[in-house]
């Protein structure tokens, strides 16, 4: 592709090491790879659109869709599952809210 020899590649890597440092080279390479991937994806999309416009045909290559997540199983159909202690409190009526809020300081709210 570029016809780069071993010596030229070593000089390029040495310059990159001096410019970015040893800790940043993997980060720079990762960013470069992602950018190259996005560029190639955009170019193939552009070529696909040109081909569809020129030939009046649809692309036969399917577009990749992200995987769908399976629905989460629930304990009962009425709603999300609750701990047994909450279910027991509601059955006894102990967890029911009082008609007026409690006043811990003993002051009259009115």
pTM passes above 0.85: no
pLDDT of residue 84: 58
* Residue of 63, 21, 24 lying closest to 41 (CA atoms): 63
The series of mean pLDDT values per 10 residues for the chain, 110 residues long, is 84 89 88 94 93 73 67 58 57 53 61
For residues 43, 47, 52, 54, the Cα torsion angle rounded to the nearest 10 degrees is 140
Residue 95 CA to residue 88 CA, distance in Å, equals 9
State the pLDDT at residue 71: 67
């Amino acid at each position: 592709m570029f016809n780069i020899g071993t010596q030229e590649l070593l000089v390029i890597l040495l310059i990159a090491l001096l410019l970015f440092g040893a800790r940043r080279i993997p980060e720079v390479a990762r960013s470069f790879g992602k950018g190259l991937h996005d560029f190639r994806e955009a170019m193939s999309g552009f070529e696909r659109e040109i081909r569809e416009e020129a030939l009046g045909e649809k692309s036969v290559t399917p577009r990749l869709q992200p995987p769908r997540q399976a629905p989460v199983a629930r304990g009962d159909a009425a709603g999300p599952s609750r701990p047994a202690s909450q279910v027991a409190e509601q059955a006894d009526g102990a967890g029911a809210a009082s008609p007026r809020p409690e006043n811990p300081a003993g002051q009259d709210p009115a």
